[in-house]
A and B are shown apart, each in its own frame.
Chain A
Amino acid sequence: MNNLNRVLIAPILFLIAPALAHSDDALPTTRLLPVITESPSGEPLAPEERSTPFLAHLGDLSEFDYVEEEYEISGTGNIYDYVDNAAQSSEVAISESGVPYVTRMLIRRPAYAANFNGTIYVEILNSTASWDDDPFWRMSYGTFANAGAIYVGITSDPLTVDFLRNRWGAPEFVTRNRDRYANLTMDRFGQVWDVLSQAAVLLKDDDNPDNPLMGFGVERIIQTGFSQSGGFVKTYANSIHSRDVEEYGFPAYDGYFSSVHGFSAKKINPPPPGEGDDFVGFGDPRRLIDVAAPAIRFQAETEMLAIFAANTGRQVETGEPGGPKIRTYEMAGGVHVDIPLETSGLLLRERDLGFSTEPKECGLPVTPIRTDYIQSALLRAIETWVRDGIEPPPSSLIEIGRNETNNLIVIQDVNENALGGVRSPQIEVPLGRYIANPFTIFDPCFLEGAFIPFTEDRFRELYPTDSFYVQEVDRAISSAVADGFILAEDAESLKDDMLADAGIEDNTGSRSGCTLGNKGNPDHTLPLLLIIALLYQLRRKWLRTHS
């Protein structure tokens, strides 16, 4: 090679070297999976020919001017292992590269890019039941849609990939076209981290024709995980976030939201099912989030003790400069699965799996406490935190102590409801005792909680009149809205729920989110008053000068 060639080749090598070094991190490709329910001539197809997404939205997204699309996403990625597992360090290194995967993304987005607010919430679809579940979407889709955010659910577990490819659509479930997911493949769980990284980076690549959201102008992506998936979020934040910044020059995810996840965190390269623990254990610092990005840990009271043991891994924001930006919220009375989540889950399982919609037999009434309202407000709060740097609201933790036999208990008030934590209006204006901690994991309703209503005498002792109850509800909701734990757009709906739970009709005409004495929405009348006042004053002045 002569000197001139060396001079020419060197800069070329310099420019292409990064691409060569990160060839395993090349972005994935995507393919739209169409929804096919009719023949080309418009005739309805037989069930085994219908091709629809597993977990498609239950209702009609057009009410929000939203659409749903499903994409197959294909790429190759790395599998990682801990550099020093004995030291319980989060640092990871590549143990295997070039591992292929094909999975799917469910995208729920505004029909028009102009209505997109720049935020994507990626949900690591929950795999606890061996098939995908999308609790964040079902609990908070109104919140996403009202803000113009995009939701992306990603199938993130070999277990659920296997279900989609090999089991869904079979006669023992609901008959569907078995070809829809025939290409899916993910052999090992350790692949999930690069799947999530690459998907997010692709969604941010506005000029990439493989990006289903090309041209939308994605500005920020928040990673979310519910229950077991919340443990995946922790591991991603701790071990992968900094690698993303190093490899791509920017974070794939700008914020992290881990919900009702108890104490645990997923191992970076867990063994196959049945061959060992797939979550890091008690006392392991990797159960705590340590990431240079906003992160929210949200626990319902269900998670605090017993098998979920969230009390063993609590994180309190120290506010120290350079420290992790963590907010921990523990919802007093909150449950792992509230009634709306359970109900929508039954409907989904009936439609997509052919299961019965009969609710479980619970010994006591299921708690009416709604976890979704609080979670939705916090999802909006993390968006504001990421986008505007406005920190989420402060909160106390649920009070935990020990009883006379030295067992851990949640400290309760006179109504036997939890003290401390995020206070939903439902627990501030209680109708009885809300039991959120599982009695035992063998209780069929240990995730749904239980409810023991007040006697009539006790109810009237607290609320002498129905109108007083309504007023208390208004006050509690207004307070929660002002504190940032209930969205103003949810105030009326929550009030309706609380009144329905009490069997009371609201005849006061009061508006929730406002208090008696507030002029409701004064902005509507202010301009009119200003104009009339101005005209009157001008007329007086004119009369004075011309009289």
Chain B
Amino acid sequence: MVADALITLKRLVKDGPFIAAIIAGPVFWAALWLSELTILEWGGSVSNPSQFLLLVLIYPILEEIVFRGALQGWLRSLSWGTQHWGKITVANLVTSIAFTLAHLIINPVLLSAAVFIPSLVFGYFRDRYDRLQASIILHVFYNAGFIWLFAGILVA
């Protein structure tokens, strides 16, 4: 399993789409800041390290296992699951809708809607590699950047 992960990582660092997805993160954050939908409050979130780790590491990994692993994996096994529009499969689209709706339970509408596009990106890489490593790495990276830049003081 570790060897498998390393092989995937070696492929990822040479993979154009993956590098583009990594770069898209900071571009998205800059757009968020310029839109004034949120405010820059960087660094404060690490004052609550356990909460920070929960949101940056634990949640992304679990969400990828549940959504991209379990749900998207099951949807792909269905006859229509692998039908696609461009690079986006039906399985990915449905999973991303479910992912967005799940965020609505405990997040504001705007923030929940904002996770839809990243979810499609995670789902794309899950389909591309048939593994979760890429989507986990991206999810961790996106959460870490967003929360470190914008989440300010985290409150338990």
Contacts and interface: CB of A to CB of B under 8 A. Distances in A.
B28 interface: no
Given A481-B155, A529-B63, A516 B111 contact: yes
B36 A519 contact: no
A220 B102 CA distance: 45
A536 B69 contact: yes
Interface string A264-285: 0000000000000000000000
Given A532-B66, A536-B65, A536-B70, A515 B105 contact: no
Contacts of A510: 108
A471 B32 CA distance: 14
Contacts, number: 99
Contact of A530 (B55, B62, B151, B152): B62
Interface in A385-419: none
Contacts of A509: 108-110
Chain A contact surface mostly: helix
A478 interface: yes
A455 interface: no
Contacts of B153: 475, 478-479, 481-482, 515
Nearest to B62: A529
A62 interface: no
Interface string A507-547: 01111011111111110111001101101110000000000
Contact of B152 (A515, A520, A532): A515
14 contacts: A467-B37, A478-B152, A478-B153, A482-B155, A508-B108, A509-B108, A515-B150, A515-B152, A516-B108, A516-B150, A518-B55, A519-B107, A529-B62, A532-B65
In this complex, the interface size class of chain A, counting residues with CB under 8 Å from chain B, is 35 or more
Interface in B37-76: 37-39, 41, 47-48, 54-55, 58-59, 62-63, 65-66, 69-70
A446 B151 CA distance: 40
A529 B155 contact: no
Given A509-B109, A524-B105, 16 more contacts: A465-B36, A475-B152, A475-B153, A478-B155, A479-B153, A482-B155, A515-B150, A515-B154, A517-B152, A518-B155, A520-B106, A525-B105, A526-B58, A533-B70, A535-B70, A536-B65
B147 interface: yes
Which of B48, B109, B151, B152: most chain A CB closer than 10 A?
B152
Nearest to A533: B65
Contacts of B69: 533, 536
Nearest to B66: A532
A536 B66 contact: yes
B155 A519 contact: no
A467 B35 CA distance: 12
- Chain B interface residue bracket vs A: 20 to 34
B39 A517 contact: no
Closest CB pairs A-B (n = 5): A509-B108, A517-B151, A536-B70, A520-B106, A533-B65
Interface in A452-479: 464-465, 467-468, 471-472, 475, 478-479
A525 B109 CA distance: 17
Interface in B86-112: 102, 105-111
B20 to A, nearest CB: 24
Contact of B151 (A508, A511, A515): A515
Given A516-B108, A520-B106, A471 B39 contact: yes
A517 B36 contact: no
Contact of B155 (A467, A471, A513): A513
Contacts of A511: 108
A432 B22 CA distance: 44
B59 to A, nearest CB: 7
B66 A508 contact: no
B25 to A, nearest CB: 14
A525 B66 CA distance: 12
Nearest to A491: B155
A96 B36 CA distance: 71
B141 interface: no
Contacts of A532: 65-66, 70
A519 B155 CA distance: 10
A530 B65 CA distance: 9
A67 interface: no
A478 B150 CA distance: 13
A421 to B, nearest CB: 20
Contacts of B63: 529
A510 B69 CA distance: 30
Interface string B95-133: 000000010011111110000000000000000000000
B55 A514 contact: no
B146 interface: yes
A431 B66 CA distance: 46
